[in-house]
Amino acid sequence: MLREIPRTSISQTSLAHDFNNVLGQSYWLESLCAEVYEKEYKAALQRQPAARVKLTEDQWQRLLKLHLDLLEEYRELYSFARDPRAPSLPQETVEELSLLRRMWGCGVAPFLHLLTMGRPASDEFFLSFVNHTYALIAWLHASAPPILDEIWVEKLGYLAQGRMVLAQKHGDAKDVEIWSNVAKSWYTMTVDKYPQTGRSYFDLGRAALPQTIQQLAYYLESQVCLDPFYGAQNHISDIFKNGMIGPRSRSHIYITEAAFVEIHANLFQQRQPVDQVQGLINEFCVNLLAEYINRTGEAFYQKGVALALVNIAAVFEYGALSDHQLSKSLFRLHFLQVWGRKTNPMYIDHKQTVTPLASLDQEVAQDLRATQVASVMITLGSRISFATLCEVLQRPRSKNVLLIIHVMFCFIWGVASIEELLNWVEQDIPWSDICSFLNVLTESTKVTAEMCVETFPRLG
């Protein structure tokens, strides 16, 4: 049995004195760090055309030590804030939200910026700083109250993402996968809490490297959710312009995913005539998709969801965001008019006011070309969405397809009660295949009706 170590008694005066010393040291280190950042950043901007930070190894080492010392002062301040023996300390000075803002704004973000501008010469110091900072913030997150959880989670995701990017630069595929999963696990916590916020999906997309389809799905999700994030548009355009991430391959999986990206690139940019895009969709669904499902095996459980999300985004015209972040998507406007209020009776799209359905067509008709383009995109998006669904429905005994089918069933349920939307997609929905799939599913699984209606869609 271990003997308890006696706790040293300390007076309030001594505790306050120690606190003031740490606080003064932190302010002094903050000023030094700010001075260094301003000096080196201005110097880097003068090195055109490429703004780079050029420092010797000794200089980087001194800067690293300076910032690590500052982080240690923040850790001590946090310890003071949580010490029950220090009730008389000025809590507003060490209040956790304020401390986090100071720590990130003065001790972390500026130095990360300098390290990024100094790469690849600064890679070794970037790695040391990110690892130390991640460990510190993870420790703070573990002891922080739940109200601050989302703030710490965002920072941890950002640091894990930085670690992932560094591993990618060095060609370390295993480290890329590890840190990508770590970053996504943090960002997923934010998405689960705020599923309507586009910025959360954008963060997930940046952490999804090197999985092109998964990354594209998250970026597009950030465009079609209730609160879209306009900043993802350049990343989406880059994927459609450059195609698949990584080296080219002759594998069937690579060829199928490249064909899928090409289809949506043509839809997004309206690069080819409708009949040619329809031909690409037929080629993908008839000749490529079945073998792709077979070869990916259990991985299709997640890959299939990404395919479904990208296809559904096409039906929503990829968000159709304007420069002012206002969505011009016909499908989205109709959808929000009904489901935005069903899911939240007090729902008001703070980016724009949802126009009554009766006047939607009149407003959009002012730009006939935009209406025609939207109609074509919705039609082709619907075709690839339900042609993909039709193929996966042919595997009723495979668990690998259940998740994509669940996603598509949710989508069908969402549009089935909105006549304007159902008119666009109804002819593509494989009703008979859905019935056959469910009949086979009930042979091996006990199915209980969670949502019941007396009539089949459009037959009531």
Q: What is the pLDDT of residues 210-225, one digit of tens each?
A: 789 999 999 999 998 8
**Gap between the terminal Cα atoms of the chain:** 75
Task: Collapse the DSSP code of 330 into the 3-class scheme (helix H, G, I; strand E, B; otherwise coil) and give the result.
Answer: helix
pLDDT at position 443:
79
Other residues' Cβ atoms within 10 Å of the Cβ of residue 444:
9
Looking at the predicted structure, is the pLDDT value of residue 360 above 70?
no
156 closest CA partner among 180, 131, 138 = 138
Confidence of residue 1 (pLDDT cuts 50, 70, 90): very low
pLDDT at position 345:
39
Average pLDDT over residues 287-307: 94
pLDDT in tens, 386-436: 999 999 999 988 999 999 999 999 999 888 878 878 888 999 999 999 999
Least-confidence region, from 46-55, 274-283, 343-352, 416-425: 343-352
pLDDT at position 457:
61
Confidence of residue 4 (pLDDT cuts 50, 70, 90): very low
* Cβ(70)–Cβ(33) below 8 Å: yes
pLDDT at position 281:
94
Average pLDDT over residues 286-310: 95
Torsion sign across C-alpha atoms 181, 182, 185, 188: negative
Looking at the predicted structure, is the pLDDT value of residue 459 above 60?
no
pLDDT at position 8:
55
DSSP at 49: S
Q: Of the ranges 99-108, 139-148, 327-336, which is most confident?
A: 99-108
pLDDT in tens, 160-213: 999 998 888 888 888 988 999 999 999 998 898 888 889 999 999 999 877 899
pLDDT at position 50:
66
pLDDT in tens, 363-393: 444 444 556 667 888 899 999 999 999 999 9
Proportion of the chain above pLDDT 70, given as a percent? 77
Looking at the predicted structure, is the pLDDT value of residue 228 above 60?
yes
Tokens for 99, please give them.
């401390």
Rounded to two decimals, the pTM is: 0.81
Looking at the predicted structure, is the pLDDT value of residue 282 above 90?
yes
pLDDT at position 415:
86
* Cβ(225)–Cβ(201) below 8 Å: yes
Looking at the predicted structure, is the pLDDT value of residue 61 above 60?
yes
Looking at the predicted structure, is the pLDDT value of residue 299 above 90?
yes
Choose between 9 and 208: higher pLDDT. Answer: 208
